[in-house]
Amino acid sequence: MPVYTAPLDNIRFVLHDVLKAETLSALPGYEEVSKDLIDQILEEGAKICEEVLFPLNQTGDAEGCTFENGVVRTPQGFKDAYTLFAGGGWCGLAADPQYGGMGMPATLNCVLQEMICSANMSFGMYPGLSEGAYNALFLHGTQEQKDTYLPNLVSGEWSGTMCLTEPQCGTDLGLIKTKAVPNDDGSFSITGTKIFISAGEHDLTGNIIHLVLAKLPDAPEGVKGISLFVVPKFLPKEEGGAFKPGARNGVSCGSIEHKMGIRASATCVINLDQAKGWLVGEKHKGMRAMFTMMNAARLGVGMQGLGIAEVAYQNGLAYARERLQMRALDGPKAPDKPADPIIVHPDVRRMLLTGKAVTEGCRALSYWVGMALDRAEKHADPAEREAAEELVSLMIPVLKAYQTDMGFEIANLTVQIYGGHGYIREHGVEQYVRDSRIAMLYEGTNGIQALDLVGRKMTAHMGRYLRHFFHPVGDFIESGMADPQMQEFVVPLAKAYSKLQQATATIAQKGLKDPNEAGAASVDYLRMFALVSLGYMWCLMAKTAQEKLAAGADGRAAFYESKIHTARFFFEKLLPEADARFKAITAGGKTLMALEAANF
- DSSP for 246-276, written as a single string: EEEPSEEEEEE---SS-TTS-EEEEEEEEEE
Question: Which residues is 245 bridged to in the sheet?
Answer: 236
Residue 170: the pLDDT is 81
- Please give the mean pLDDT across all residues of the chain: 96
DSSP result, 179-243: EEEE-TTS-EEEEEEEEEEETSS-SSSSEEEEEEEEB-TTPPSGGGG-EEEEEESEEEEEETTEE
**pLDDT given for residue 292 in this prediction:** 73
Q: What is the mean pLDDT of residues 338-355?
A: 98
What pLDDT is stored for residue 295 in this prediction? 78
Helix (H) or strand (E) holding 472: helix 464-480
Note if 166 is an active site residue.
Answer: no
Q: Is the dihedral of CA 339, 342, 347, 349 positive or negative?
A: negative
pLDDT at 336: 96
Catalytic residue among 443, 478, 547, 577: 443
Report how far residue 206's alpha carbon sits from residue 149's, in angstroms, rounded to the nearest whole number.
12
> How far is 439 from 300, CA to CA, in rounded Å?
10
The string of DSSP letters for 539-552 reads HHHHHHHHHHHHTT
List the one residue out of 151, 145, 165, 150 whose CA is nearest residue 229: 145
Under CATH, what is the fold of the domain 8-138? Butyryl-Coa Dehydrogenase, subunit A; domain 1 (1.10.540)
Please tell me if the domain spanning 8-138 has the same topology as the one spanning 159-284.
no
DSSP for residue 339: S
What's the pLDDT tens digit per position in 280-297? 999 999 988 877 777 778
pLDDT band at 528 (very low <50, low <70, confident <90, very high): very high
pLDDT at residue number 527: 98
Mean pLDDT value across residues 439-451: 96
pLDDT digits (tens, 9 = 90+) for 384-433: 999 999 999 999 999 999 999 999 999 999 999 999 999 999 999 999 99
Residue of 533, 377, 400 lying closest to 469 (CA atoms): 533
Question: What are the helix (H) ranges across 379-463?
Answer: 382-418, 429-437, 446-452
d(CA 218, CA 144): 26
Q: Write out the DSSP string of 8-77.
A: HHHHHIIIIIIS-GGGGGGSTT-TT--HHHHHHHHHHHHHHIIIIIGGGHHHHHHH--EEETTEEEPPTT
Assess whether pLDDT exceeds 80 at residue 99: yes
Tell me the domain boundaries of the chain.
Answer: 8-138, 159-284, 445-590
In CATH terms, is domain 159-284 a member of 2.120.10.30? no
Instruction: State the average pLDDT over residues 204-213.
Output: 97
pLDDT band at 173 (very low <50, low <70, confident <90, very high): confident
**Which pLDDT score is estimated for 171?**
83
Give pTM, 2 decimals: 0.97
How much is the average pLDDT of 39-47?
98
Tell me how far apart the alpha carbons of residues 83 and 103 are, in angstroms, rounded to a whole number. Answer: 21
- pLDDT of 288 reads 82
Q: Is residue 78 over pLDDT 80?
A: yes
